[in-house]
Amino acid sequence: MLCVMNLLHTDLEGLDESPLVELDETVRSIYRLIVFSKSHNQSDLLSRFFEAMQHLRDILSIKNAQQEAQTEEEAIEYLANLKLGIELIVGEIGSRRGLESPVDLFRLFRLIAPEAAGRHPNRFRHTTVQFGPCMGAKPSQIAVLVDQLFATLPEIKHPVTRAVYLHHELVRIHPFVDGNGRLCRMAKNWMLMYNLYPPMFIKNVFDKHLYIARLQDSFLSIEQEPNVLHAATKEFFQDEFRRLRASATFILNRMLKNPDLEFPDEKEDLTEPWNG
């Protein structure tokens, strides 16, 4: 039996946002280099910045396609659709428009999951859905919850925490019949890039399993005890902060021509706490 779902409190009391201090300093370093550096040619720095951002945008599409596709044909289809979604996001940000309302979700969904959108045009799902051991919101609740989500997002001060919160709650609501994971990750990155952060993504198989496990543990904990910021939810936020730090560090290293240009070794223990 489905229970009434309530959004996670936006005060997020007890969440450790200290990793965002170093993240923000890395992001500021990127833009300081572009604008003020005297030891580097500004045009070269800007070119390296754009190259690194384009690289991350390409990876974002590839990794999101790999995350959900079951066959090579599906991966090719998902990749093409995700690239259309990125084009929409980049175009909107270039026009100074962020992810602002449920209407933007539908626009993104139609590009990312056109088959699902075609079966149920311009509406949220009207059937129950289970993903792993978790249940999405009641169909009758979805529109109200999504409206509440966009209305309450401005209460979260830091844009990174706000984007991760959007991601967490959208996946928990599971508003559409299919493609929810792709949609939520892309919506999050729209918010991040609008606020001048790089995109983030799930980088390998281990990270994918960790991501899924963290979300499931968080949702089940909230289901058992609502209105509490559980340890599993905090861990999900910390993982997301780490993923974004990796993207920002990658860009800075590219701009400085640091020999360590790639992401950390895929065998690293991603469960290790981040000590800065």
Per-residue pLDDT reduced to its tens digit, 5-42:
999 999 999 999 999 999 999 999 999 988 887 766 66
In a domain, 46, yes or no: yes
In a domain, 266, yes or no: no
In a domain, 262, yes or no: no
User: Residue with structure tokens 């910045």?
Assistant: 49
**Total count of domains within the chain:** 1
pTM: 0.91
Which pLDDT band holds residue 264 (cuts at 50, 70, 90)? very low
CATH number assigned to the domain comprising residue 56: 1.10.3290.10
| Residue of 50, 44, 57 lying closest to 84 (CA atoms) | 57
Go through the chain and tell me how many residues it has.
Answer: 276
Mean pLDDT computed over every residue of the chain: 89
Residue range 183-210: mean pLDDT, rounded: 95
The dihedral built from the CA positions of residue 109, 111, 113 and 116, taken in this order, carries a sign that is positive
In a domain, 142, yes or no: yes
| Residue of 207, 160, 168, 204 lying closest to 184 (CA atoms) | 168
In a domain, 6, yes or no: no
Tell me the two tokens of residue 210: 């960790």
| Residue of 193, 175, 228, 8 lying closest to 89 (CA atoms) | 193
Domain that holds residue 210: 19-255
Residue range 150-157: mean pLDDT, rounded: 97
87 CB contacts (<8 Å, ≥6 apart)?
A: none
User: Residue with structure tokens 């991501």?
Assistant: 211
In a domain, 149, yes or no: yes
In a domain, 97, yes or no: yes
Question: pLDDT for 209-247, tens place per residue?
Answer: 999 999 999 999 999 999 899 999 999 999 999 999 999
Tell me the two tokens of residue 188: 């999050």
Q: What are the backbone angles phi and psi of residue 130, rounded to the nearest 5°?
A: -125, 135
In a domain, 151, yes or no: yes
